Structure formats: structure tokens, C-alpha cells
Amino acid sequence: MGELIAILSGKGGTGKTSVCAGVATALAQLGEDVLCIDCDIGLRNLDISLGLADSGALSFREVYEGNYDLSQAAVHPGYPKLRFLTAPVSCSPEEINTEAFGHMLRKARSQFTYIFLDAPAGIDAGFRLCASFADRVILVTNSDPASIRDASRTGELLELMGKESVRLVVNRINPKMFDTMDITVDDIMDQAGLPLLGIVPEDEHMVLAATFRKSLLESTKKGAAAACRRIAKRIQGLPIPVSL
Ligand SMILES: Nc1ncnc2c1ncn2[C@@H]1O[C@H](COP(=O)(O)OP(=O)(O)O)[C@@H](O)[C@H]1O
Ligand SMILES: [Mg+2]
């Protein structure tokens, strides 16, 4: 049975979509069957981070309404094992039929090893949609006080929802800034009150890849791409040490 992984954060813009795309492509490269679902209804952009901008991918709503089958989900040209469903544009998260969405996810579990749900920012309907179905949660934070506080608050909410497997990814790490701020990754874990899944450095390739319509891993093997590969291997259960 496949595993459902929700990518969440309290604060917007911490890099959920970028990390989701990086880790999902890394798992597909490692030979896993992966489905990525953009759940940021209205503000979708996972297609851009995957290097699939404007590819005309099916939306998850078109699949759960039964007009299309999961097997018709867009296939990534660079990663044949990676499939993608975009978010519907013309509806609100409250209009999503949760039961039908859940039914689609149950089907997806029998066809994929990992299913990623790229959530919107905040803790509203889109957050709840993703969190409620997740087997594990990746909370993406940056190292600034506001995103750490929001990650901590989101972690508490997830605990109240009974979510046990919640791990932190600290994104956009800049060692110089860490020195100036006199902060360490351990401090961030302590303040957020969550265990660490991985760290991702600040890397211009995140922006460059999207600009040139490529995924991060097609654009570079170093920096953030290498960090996402290490996170992917940890998700597979391999004992990969945390380092930049
Ligand atoms: N590690 C990183 N290094 C540099 N830029 C990054 C990094 N992670 C994300 N970004 C940039 O930050 C912005 C927000 O990222 P995004 O993944 O869309 O965040 P979210 O999904 O949380 O809103 C994007 O412009 C993205 O390119
Ligand atoms: Mg996003």
C-alpha cells in the first residue's frame, strides 16, 4: 500500500511546493512510483516546480468526479515513474468533495508507492483536506522566527488531529546568516518542537530551474537538489546523515 505524505507549513512561501517537487522527483529517480497532487486550489504552482508548466495536466477534481481515470494523470517526460494531478482553478477548497477525494486517494494507494499532497499555506480548509488524509506530514519551515513559530503552532494542531508522524524540513538554510543570527538547526528543532527530516540550503537553482521550465533535479545535482535526494532516501528508510 502506498503512503500519503502531506507537505504543510503554517506560514506561506517557506518552500513547500519546491521541496515537494524536489523530493518527489528524487523518489521517482530512485525507482519509486510517485503521484504528486497539487492541493493549492486557486493558487496552484506545483506544475512550475516540476518543470511541467502549462502542460494541460488533469486536475484531481476531474479524476475524483469520474470524468477521467487515475491512469490518465500527466506523466513527467523526464521521470516516467512520476505522475501529476494539478489543482482545480475555478473552485474553493470548501467545495471539494472530501469523500470522493478520499476515495480517489485510496485507489492511488494501490497504484503508487508515495503520494504527495502539496498543501496551501495556512490552516484552513486546504490544510485540513491534506492533513486529514496524510500518513505522514512534512512541515517545511525557514529559519526566521515567524516561520518557526507558525511551524510550532501547526505541529500542535496536527497533534490535536492525532497525526503522529510529523517531521520538519528546514528550507533555505544560509550558513552565513545562521552565524550572524547565532542559531543552529538544533535550535530550530527545539523551538518548533518537532523532529528533523532534513535541511535544504538556499539555492538559486530553485528559481533558475523554474525559469527554464525544468525541475530542480534536471537543472543541478548539487545544493538543494542533493538535499532533496537525501530527504528522499530518508523517506525510504535509509540512514542518511543530515548535512548540507
Ligand atoms: N531552497 C531555496 N533556495 C532558494 N529559493 C527557494 C528555496 N526554496 C524555495 N525557494 C523560492 O521561494 C519561493 C517560494 O517557494 P514555494 O515552494 O512556492 O513556497 P510555498 O509552496 O511554501 O508557498 C519560490 O520563489 C521558490 O523558488
Ligand atoms: Mg506552494
Buried (b) or exposed (e) across 58-97, using 16+ Cβ within 10 A?
bbbbbbbeeeeebeebbbbebbebbbbbbbbeeeebeebe
Q: What is the pLDDT at residue 53?
A: 92
The model's pLDDT over 209-237, given as tens digits with 9 standing for 90+, comes to: 988 889 999 999 999 999 999 999 999 99
Tell me the ligand closest to 198's alpha carbon. Answer: 1
For ligand 1, say whether the CB of 76 is within 6 Å of any of its atoms: no
Q: Which residues surround ligand 2, an ion (CB under 5 A)?
A: 16-17
pTM: 0.97
Q: Pick from 44, 206, 244 the residue to mutate for probing ligand 1's pocket: most ligand atoms within 8 Å of its CB.
A: 206
For ligand 1, say whether the CB of 229 is within 6 Å of any of its atoms: no
- CA of 110 relative to ligand 1 center, distance in Å: 31
- CA of 201 relative to ligand 1 center, distance in Å: 11
Run of H or E residues at 87: none
- CA of 150 relative to ligand 2 center, distance in Å: 16
Q: What is the pLDDT at residue 244?
A: 62
CA distances from 205 to 175, 201, 211 (A): 17, 11, 9
Domains of the chain: 3-235 (3.40.50.300)
- CA of 167 relative to ligand 1 center, distance in Å: 19
For ligand 1, say whether the CB of 219 is within 6 Å of any of its atoms: no
Q: What is the pLDDT at residue 7?
A: 98
Q: What is the pLDDT at residue 217?
A: 95
- What does pLDDT average to in each consecutive run of 10 residues of the chain (244 residues)? 95 96 98 98 93 91 96 96 95 93 98 98 93 97 94 95 96 90 88 94 94 92 97 96 74
Q: What is the pLDDT at residue 108?
A: 98
For ligand 1, say whether the CB of 224 is within 6 Å of any of its atoms: yes
